[in-house]
Every structure is written in structure tokens, then in C-alpha cells.
Amino acid sequence: GAGVSQSPSNKVTEKGKDVELRCDPISGHTALYWYRQSLGQGLEFLIYFQGNSAPDKSGLPSDRFSAERTGGSVSTLTIQRTQQEDSAVYLCASSLGLVEQYFGPGTRLTVT
Amino acid sequence: RKEVEQDPGPFNVPEGATVAFNCTYSNSASQSFFWYRQDCRKEPKLLMSVYSSGNEDGRFTAQLNRASQYISLLIRDSKLSDSATYLCVVNTGRRALTFGSGTRLQVQP
């Protein structure tokens, strides 16, 4: 079946602009996660959605970052007023709960 | 102290060698454990779950030591294709899993 998909695969933006990253989880997966990974670094947890519960936003680095999940499926991560330090690969994952997660291919964001 | 700690490596081993990685975790209430593999510029992929009794999948063996709070991954008869970063992943009781920074393995011909 279809895996997790993300779009765009690459995004280059100018400092100060807003960007939206999209994630389509595996159908039926109730949990959705956003992470980011800077070059050569580990995964940094950003936000977690589980069903209709309030999202766990504890990993968002600043109030410029926000995410929503519509209809319990597709999620959008929005970064406002992008900064150069936001450059990273943004990975989305989904799962059926606190079990193994399946990752999308990521969006490589470059802020110039 | 990090919730999940791994030796970053790199571990450089010849083909056919046996190599082992350890990972320590700080939360004694952790319940679920996994090893993921991440190839260069690719997304992480589940390698195997780690069960209390230990488990084996072909050349890969994972073990859990709750008393000492570490998990291990053993790779026998290393192949060139095993070269990757291996991520230790733990459910620390928060609502999301916690990933270690990874151990890089380079298998050389």
C-alpha cells in the first residue's frame, strides 16, 4: 500500500518568507509526527497528533512554527518568517499508536 | 543527560565482521524499544523491534537489558550494504518516541 508522502520534496525560500510543508500519512494511521533533522544530526521531535486529542506541541522550537491536522489525516507544518537556522530536512511519520513509525521521504528546506 | 544516548561512531569494520552497538536510556519506565536504520540523505526505516526476551532477524540480533537500561544490536557477517546510521528508539513515556542521535557504521571491502 501507499506509504507516507510529503510535499514538496525540496523547498528553497528567502529569509522572512512563510512556508507550508505537507504530509499525507498512511491511511488508517491515527498518529502523526513531525521531526526535523539538520545535516549530520539526529531527529528533533517537533509535534505529535493522536486521533482527536490535543496535539503534543512540546518540541516546537518557537512560535513561528505551527501545525495542523485536518480531518485526522493530512497535516501541514507552517513556518512563519523563516530564518536560516530553519534549514533542515523536515520528516513526517505516522503510526497506529506508540508503536513503530513509518517515515515519509522528507522535505529539504533551504532558507537563503 | 540525554534520554537516549548512543556512541556516534563511526564504526569501521571489514566485510564479514561482527559488530555490536549499545544504546542507553534514562527513563526506567520506558516500555517500547526499536532499532531504525537511516541511509545517507534518506528517511529512517524500522529495522526491528526489541523484545524483553531478545529477538533475532537473520544476521541481526537485538537485546534489552532493563536492569542496566540499555539495548543492543548485533550484526553478524557484515555486508557492504549494512553501511548506514543505526538509530536507537525508545518510548520514554511521553506521547512520542524518542530517537537517539545514531551510530554510524561503515563496512569496508
How crowded is the C-beta side of B90, counted as CA atoms within 13 Å? Answer: 26
Pairwise CA distance, residues A76 & B69, whole Å: 36
Higher pLDDT, A21 or B51: A21
pLDDT exceeds cutoff 70 at A102: yes
Q: Give the nearest chain B residue to A34 (CA atoms).
A: B96
Give the pLDDT score at B78. Answer: 98
Give the pLDDT score at B93. Answer: 65
pLDDT exceeds cutoff 90 at A19: yes
**Average pLDDT value over all residues in chain A:** 92
Residues of chain A in contact with residue B49, where contact means CB-CB under 8 angstroms, are: 100
Pairwise CA distance, residues A79 & A67, whole Å: 9
Residues of chain A in contact with residue B94, where contact means CB-CB under 8 angstroms, are: 56, 58
Is A25 strand, coil or helix? coil
Residues A91, B98: C-beta atoms closer than 8 Å? no
| B29 vs A: CB within 8 A | no
Residue A72 to residues A41, A53, A86, B78: CA-CA distances in angstroms?
A: 30, 10, 26, 42
Pairwise CA distance, residues B102 & B109, whole Å: 23
Residues A103, B91: C-beta atoms closer than 8 Å? no
pLDDT exceeds cutoff 80 at A1: no
pLDDT averaged over consecutive 10-residue blocks of chain B (109 residues)?
Answer: 88 97 91 92 92 92 94 97 95 77 95
